[in-house]
Amino acid sequence: MGNDFVNVALQFLPLLAILLFANWGERLRQQGAPYMAPVVVSYVATALLYLAAFVLGLAFMLSATLPAAPIQIESPAWLGFGVLLPSVIGLLLLLKPVRRLVARFTNLEPDHPVHTVALALTMTPILNQGLTLGIGLKTITNLIAQQVEETGTAPVSLTGLWAQNIMFVLIALIGVGWLTRRSFRQSLVRLGIVRPSGRDLLIGAAAALVLIPIIPILMSLLTNAGVGVDQNVESLTELLTGALFATPLGILSVGLAPGIGEESVFRGAMQPRFGLIITSLLFALVHGQYGLSLATLVVFGLGLVLGLVRNYTNTTTSMLTHALYNSGTAMLAYLGIQFLTQQGR
């Protein structure tokens, strides 16, 4: 369990360091002091991440053409388009003329170091999707299933789930200036994390209660319209989350952990700068286990609703909606499994 937390923390460490240096540079800039040294560190580190991704994409593409490739690549074209292109765009977004162009339709400031790295890092969910689709959901599912069979452990543990979302909270806090430009209380206010009123609680609960039945109905309508559910998505999702849905603590954690972590980053830190549509799109793409499927469209719709809740109330309320929706759907899945188990006896 401890290893799960450490492994997740190490994966997020480069991103936390980039945001910390960028905020340090912004604090110096606001003070009128020389600020380029930490800013350059954050820009170079971001550029190195994308250069590494570019090289990785090339390596995958080349290995896909070899007779004895270590991994069966389902779509070398997706690796080229979905990994190499976002890597190049991520590098271009570090350039001031490109930032000025993007600033015309967002609330980003082109000279703000934190806004610059945040803008460049928006390519990481797209890059991750390209890598997922290139390798293929079926291949990834088989690899994870093989790992589970060999180790006897679930691919996503409760510790890993909470560790990931604790890191999301840290990204949000450090991203808006905690430890450098803002106090902890000021950072919470910037994120929209406040003590909810009775009205906020009612709105959050009502939104979740509406979403829980509406989304399955919407999926059913789309399926009947010819937009089918990808069996590979269902298999991978079951493999990743099936164990979590099997216990009350897992069901509670599936709601609370992403509700707190993902909302802190997307609705708290990002939405005030990137706007509702871009933030919801990135929210959908960061769920890489869905590939590009009906489930991705549903998550995009969920992101829009959560974003509207955040706009009309605060991030705490969108956290409540997200947590209740996730736990509600997990509970329905658990009850469905129990019902089928009873029927099979």
- CB neighbours of 36 closer than 8 A, spacing ≥ 6? 25
* Residue-level pLDDT at 64: 62
DSSP secondary structure of 179-190: TTTB-HHHHHHH
pLDDT tens, residue by residue, 31-54: 999 999 999 999 999 999 999 999
pLDDT tens, residue by residue, 69-85: 566 777 777 777 888 99
309-327: average pLDDT: 97
Residue percentage of the chain with pLDDT more than 90:
59
Check whether 224 has a pLDDT greater than 80.
no
- How far, in Å, CA of 313 to CA of 200, rounded? 7
Widest Cα–Cα separation across the chain: 73
306-335: average pLDDT: 93
The DSSP 8-state label assigned to residue 67 in this structure reads T
The DSSP 8-state label assigned to residue 93 in this structure reads T
**Do residues 131 and 82 lie in contact, with contact meaning Cβ atoms separated by under 8 Å?**
yes
Check whether 289 has a pLDDT greater than 80.
no
* Residue-level pLDDT at 68: 55
Give CA separation, 241 vs 244, 246, 330, in Å. Answer: 5, 9, 9
Please provide the average confidence, as pLDDT, over all residues in the chain: 88
Structure tokens at 183: 């106090």
- How far, in Å, CA of 313 to CA of 88, rounded? 37
141-158: average pLDDT: 83
* Residue-level pLDDT at 13: 95
Give CA separation, 31 vs 28, 34, 139, 268, in Å. Answer: 5, 9, 52, 26
pTM of the complete model: 0.92
303-329: average pLDDT: 96
- How far, in Å, CA of 306 to CA of 204, rounded? 9
* Distance, CA of 327 to chain centre: 18
Ranked by mean pLDDT, the top range of 125-129, 151-155, 277-281, 333-337 is 277-281
Check whether 344 has a pLDDT greater than 50.
no
Dihedral, 94, 17, 277, 223 alpha carbons, nearest 10: 120
